[in-house]
Amino acid sequence: MTSRGKHMIKLVSIMLIFVVILCAIPQQMKADSIPMIEVKLVNYLGNKSSITVVFNGDYTLTNGTKVSKGTEAVMSIVNSRLKLATKSGQVLMENETSINATPAHTDGNLAINDRGYYGSFQFVMEKDTKTNNIYIRPINKVDVETYLRGVVPQEMPALWSMEALKAQTVAARTYALKHKNDANMVDTIAKQVYGGIIGIHPRSDNAIQETAGMVLKYNNSLIDAVFSASNGGKTEVNSSVWGGTALPYFAVVEDAFDFNPATKDKFPWAIQLKQQQLPETLDLNDASTWWVTQKEADANNQVLKNMKTWLKNEGYIDDVNTVKIIRISKLELNVSALTSGGRVSKGTVNIDYLVKTNEKAVEKKTLVLNDTAASRIRAMVGIDKMPSYLVDVSKVENGSIYIQGRGNGHGVGLSQYGARNRADAGQSYQQILQFYFPKAALIKEYSGIVSSSQENTTVKKDTEASVTPSQDKKDTEAPVTPTQEKKDTEAPVKIAIPAKKDTAAPVISAFKASSDYKKNRSKLSMKINKSGKMTIAIKDSKGKIISTLAKNKAVKSGVLNFDWNISKVANGTYTAEMTAENLDGYKKTIKQKVSIQKPAKEKKGSVKATVLNMREKATTASKVITRLKKKQTVVIVAQQGSWYKVKYGSKTGYVSTKYITVLK
């Protein structure tokens, strides 16, 4: 063989070795292959006309100005233009409609009002169409994988099982790519909660890395991978919640894994209101005598407050302080005509309310919504008070309205608690996604290659489930805080979690409050499922602590009783805020309402007139019930304008306040 032939063989051998080595190296995702996303920062910033900006890295501004690491600046609106100046007063840019800031290196970040974000920024001005006020709106441009680092731990607790975190990550990535060009891509629950650097956690980072580029597709298009905290035990389809055509990758199916792992229930919720909120006998011609003192029966109920806010937002009233609800004749959801997922879609509302027009006069108005959308009723009572459309009971009984349901969210797509419980039971993230998005394929989007782990996307059908159709769009509720996480058995964890540490906070149940008004004591009793510490604070309607019944008090599991001295407590509804902490420091806080209704002290009066007419109603045109004589004693029940409601013997009626002397 010639030396040239030997040389060629050697060259070919080297090339073959190079190819083999190249094929053996794991494919690394190039930064420029990862899609970018632009997110408006609204959630944590709010609406501000001046913000602080700290450059935690070297940045270049629109005009070419270099800003060095550590520079602190203030961005403000001056004469309807943006201005950026350092804390020392050096003007970096001014008289601009927008300002861009680009990092020199990928590890640089900007802290806006003390919250850091990776990536580049565009600062623009945004006008509030209602108030015409102008605010600064930062737009964060960042690659999707970095964006997910700020999303996943905000949407699902990072200490939950790794397979649940992976399922959440794939859903969040798919949703982000599907909606990345939306004009209203914000960092709120309207899309996905994005917290920037603050919430980043090693475990969610691990889930992102292990599923890098993985998305869900149907017919080669990204699906709308929506999710909610809990489906209440049954999934739903998109068309039943948001209308439109039912998407084929959703299905209505019973979900036996959707439950609260601490209590084993399906996240029950309830609304209760009295129908009659104010007496019908109020003097509407002179509200000055009772407007301040006369409270609605459920004045402290947040649902009633939400209804007033809704009336204002919908344009029925101008100010929540000038309205009182007199009667809720109807507040019902139609539980006889349900969606395919067993959820309500329609309901009826009938409310009488009073609007104060001046110091004395009020106007009575009626709101009637017949066969209205359940979403409108949910907005009225508050999505926090009606967390889902899975309603089991809607009725009126003994003058009270009762609505009861379960679940937290729309129930379409991934259930976060369902994913957690499935992961704890040993299911992989592929199996979890297959259950909630049954016809979707798991694809490695950035390379366009089907994942090797998904060569067979068919999984065993869950024994508790039977399939039908389901739906799309992100929920507006965040998941509930975690209690305990099952250690992942497949992936390495970057943080140490002591194996024997009890990460489940104690569960408080069977709360009951009973008052002895003669002794001026109220007893609060409850059950706790494990030993630890208890802190109990009583708060008034403004959230102020008025009494502390226990502070880090050591307790044993079982029934607990705490005594509250109510001798100086006024009538009303209070909140008992109870925090139970286990021996490893994991705690949970619950709140319960406590009503104090001390019987009114009897008030008596003496008749001053020689003869005084007692009438059926508080008007001289009303029928006379009986005639009282001078110095006769009556019991004063209430006052209505210039009339006392009094009781004499077995008769009750109204007399003029002018002719009664109040006895001390």
CATH code of the domain made up of 508-596: 2.60.40.1220
CB 520 within 8 A of CB 567: yes
How sure is the predictor about 517, in pLDDT bands with cuts at 50, 70 and 90? confident
What is the mean pLDDT of the segment spanning 364-390?
95
Q: Is the pLDDT score of 378 beyond 90? A: yes
The CATH superfamily assigned to 603-662 is SH3 Domains (2.30.30.40)
User: For residue range 16-26, what is the model confidence (pLDDT) as tens digits?
Assistant: 433 333 333 33
Q: How far is CA 7 from CA 15, 18, 32, 289, 361, in A?
A: 12, 17, 39, 110, 107
Residue 287 — left, alpha, or beta (φ > 0 → left; ψ -120 to 50 → alpha)? alpha
Closest listed residue to residue 140, CA positions, set 83, 186, 191:
186
Q: How many CB atoms lie within 10 A of CB 512?
A: 12
Domains 508-596 and 603-662 share a fold: no
Mean pLDDT is lowest, of 45-49, 113-117, 309-313, 530-534, for: 530-534
What is the mean pLDDT of the segment spanning 43-71?
95
- Starting from the edge strand earliest in sequence, which strands make up the sheet with 50-56, in order? 91-96, 81-86, 72-78, 50-56, 109-112, 115-118
Longest dimension (CA), the chain: 144
Give per-residue burial for 471-492: e unless 16+ CB within 10 Å, then b: bbbbbebbbeebbbbbebeeee
Mean pLDDT taken over the chain: 86
Q: Between residues 218 and 2, which one has the greater pLDDT? A: 218
Please spell the DSSP secondary structure of 72-100, one letter per residue: EEEEEEETTEEEEEETTS-EEEEEESEEE
Name the strand (E) or helix (H) holding 456.
none
User: For residue range 555-602, what is the model confidence (pLDDT) as tens digits?
Assistant: 888 889 999 999 888 888 999 999 998 877 788 899 999 999 887 677
CB 334 within 8 A of CB 362: no
Q: Is the pLDDT score of 472 beyond 90? A: no
What is the mean pLDDT of the segment spanning 270-296?
93
Closest listed residue to residue 346, CA positions, set 327, 330, 367:
330
Q: How far apart are CA 279 and CA 170, in angstroms?
A: 56
What is the mean pLDDT of the segment spanning 143-148?
95
- What are the phi and psi torsion angles at 21 (to 5°)? -65, -45
Q: Report the percentage of the chain scoring pLDDT > 90.
A: 69
How sure is the predictor about 462, in pLDDT bands with cuts at 50, 70 and 90? very low
pLDDT at 614 (0 to 100): 94
Q: Is the pLDDT score of 483 beyond 50? A: no
Q: What is the DSSP letter of 480?
A: P
CB 309 within 8 A of CB 384: no
Closest listed residue to residue 600, CA positions, set 635, 627, 643:
635
pTM exceeds cut of 0.75? no
Residue 382 — left, alpha, or beta (φ > 0 → left; ψ -120 to 50 → alpha)? left
User: For residue range 71-105, what is the model confidence (pLDDT) as tens digits?
Assistant: 999 999 999 999 999 999 999 999 999 999 999 99
What is the mean pLDDT of the segment spanning 125-131?
89
pLDDT at 355 (0 to 100): 94
Please state the domain extents for the chain.
50-132, 268-406, 508-596, 603-662
- The angle that helices 144-155 and 162-179 make with each other, rounded to 10 degrees, is 130
User: For residue range 212-238, what is the model confidence (pLDDT) as tens digits?
Assistant: 999 999 999 999 999 999 999 999 999
